[in-house]
Amino acid sequence: MPHHGNEEEHGAEEPVRFTDKRKIDPETGEVRRDAGADGSGSPQGGEHDGITPLDEAHDSGDALAQAERILNDLPAEELDAPGEAPNLEAELRNDLLRLQAEYVNYRKRVERDREAVRELAVQSVLSGLLPVLDDLDAAKQHGDLSEGPFASIAKKLEGILENFGLERIADAGVAFDPKVHEALMQQPNAEIPADHVGQVLRPGYRKGERVIRAAQVIVSTGE
């Protein structure tokens, strides 16, 4: 086969090199970050060697630890750089902060609802025991609980109810309060001013600010 000139004079042709400046890696589909000077998309001497905080958090398996790690690893100067489009880290940080606030509010709401349910349960039990307390009061007035084992039982029961916050409303001579008193009648009383409780017919009870049962009273009209 004829030769046209000396091959050594022309030399071997060098391959044409292209610089891959694509921002999306065609093999992995991931966004290339911190591309080096050669445009290859691989970080040169990066602190995380191509591993993003999201990848590290994904391997931890703990949702709260993931959030803490991601938030701590994001530099503020990178997120708040002026003139740059919003990046993934900024959006992720905002999402995590919003999620954290929603979780805190959820926990507070659950604790509040749990306490409300517990309070209603205690009040229901106390309301069911009020007839028993009325019988104990009647027995005391007749002198049946002055001594003996039943008197000891009654005292223990009253002590337990007081520990649950149950308070008696049975004071005479105090100003009439429609919030805690139920007026059945009015009578003149020279010893008690007008519009004051002259006599308690049936004691009332309350727990904290909630009145479980109003006291039935006679209101004094004065002299």
pLDDT tens digits for the chain (223 residues)?
444 444 444 444 555 555 666 666 666 656 666 544 444 444 444 444 444 444 444 444 455 566 666 666 655 555 455 545 457 878 888 888 888 889 999 999 999 999 889 888 988 899 999 999 999 888 888 887 777 788 888 889 988 998 989 999 999 999 999 999 999 999 998 899 999 999 999 999 999 889 999 999 999 987 7
pLDDT at 148: 78
User: Bridge partners of 202?
Assistant: 216
pLDDT at 2: 47
Helices (H), the chain: 7-10, 53-60, 63-73, 76-79, 88-141, 149-163
C-alpha dist (Å) from residue 32 to 35, 80, 102, 213: 7, 20, 33, 72
pLDDT at 24: 64
Left if phi > 0, otherwise alpha if psi is -120 to 50, otherwise beta: which for 187? beta
